[in-house]
Amino acid sequence: MQTLWFTPIICLIGAASFSGSAFAADKKATKMVAEMAQARDALLQKYPAIALIDSAVRADCAAKGKDAPPEGAFCSCASAVTFGLWMSGMDPKMNGRLNGFLQQPSESAASEFTAYQGPEMYTPLCSKAV
C-alpha cells in the first residue's frame, strides 16, 4: 500500500527537477542572448548603416517564422544571435562583407546578408530564450 502513494510523489519530484533544469537552461540562453543583443546594439550605435542589415534579418525572420513580427522578441533575438555569430569570427569573410557594406550601404545590399543567416542559426537558442 505504501508504494501506491509513494510512486506519484517520485513522479512529481522528477518532473520538478526536470522543469528546474529546463528553467536553468532558459536562464542561460536568455543571458547569452542579452549579451549578444548588447554587442549588436553597440555595433548599431557605432555604425548606424548596419541598421539596414538588422532590419533585413528581422524581416527575414518574420517571413520564415511562425507568428513572429519583425519588431517582436523572437526576431529581435534572431537578430542578436545572427550578429553575435557573425562577429564571433565563425565566418572569416563576414568582417570583409560588413566593411564592404559600410562603404556603400543600401537596402538591396543589406538584404543580401540574409543569405548568411537563417532559422537554423538562431531558432535553437531563441526558442529557449524567448
Residue at 18 is within a domain: no
Residue at 84 is within a domain: yes
Residue at 57 is within a domain: yes
Give just the sign of the alpha carbon dihedral 25, 85, 113, 103. positive
| pLDDT computed for residue 118 by the predictor | 92
- Regions of the chain short of the pLDDT cut 50: 1-21
Residue at 1 is within a domain: no
Residue at 6 is within a domain: no
Residue numbers of the domain that contains 112: 23-129
Q: Angle at Cα 62 formed by Cα 106 and Cα 58, nearest 5°? A: 40
Q: pLDDT tens for residues 17-38? A: 334 445 566 999 999 999 999 9
What percentage of the chain's residues is helix, strand, coil (to nearest 5)?
Answer: 85, 0, 15
97: CB partners within 8 A, 6+ apart: 113, 116
Residue at 53 is within a domain: yes
Total domains in the fold of the chain = 1
